[in-house]
Amino acid sequence: MAILGWVMMGLAVWHFTVFVPDRFWGSVIGAFVFALVGSLVFGLAVNGLVVPSREDTDILTVLEGIPGSLIGMALCYWIGVRKGIRPFAELPPGTQPQHPIEP
């Protein structure tokens, strides 16, 4: 149950990416993946790589997913900025947006 809680919390935090310019590596899908993986990895790291049982899962266990998802999305955003991905709104008129994942 703890894994479900961490992943659902990462999903909930991911919804707030609509308020940030889309410079994520892989666009919103990249941010989605980084948020879910970040919340899962952080939750496991906090608990010593042990998944709490159903009886040990409470609201504090679920809230452990928030920092991990924020760290994951910040990492995704940082990679996107380093690769020079620009939001669609900043592109000159008549140009096509670049593919978010370029080698």
* pLDDT tens track for 63-83: 999 999 999 999 999 999 888
Find the helix or strand (DSSP H, E) in which 100 lies: none
DSSP 40-83: HHHHHHHTTS----TTT--HHHHHTHHHHHHHHHHHHHHHHHHT
Q: What's the pTM?
A: 0.79
Q: Which of 23-27, 34-38, 90-94 has the highest mean pLDDT?
A: 34-38
12 burial (CB, 10 Å; 0-12 / 13-18 / 19+) is middle
- Please say if the pLDDT value at position 100 is more than 70: no
Q: Are 68 and 42 in contact (CB under 8 A)?
A: yes
Tell me what the mean pLDDT of segment 33-48 comes to: 95
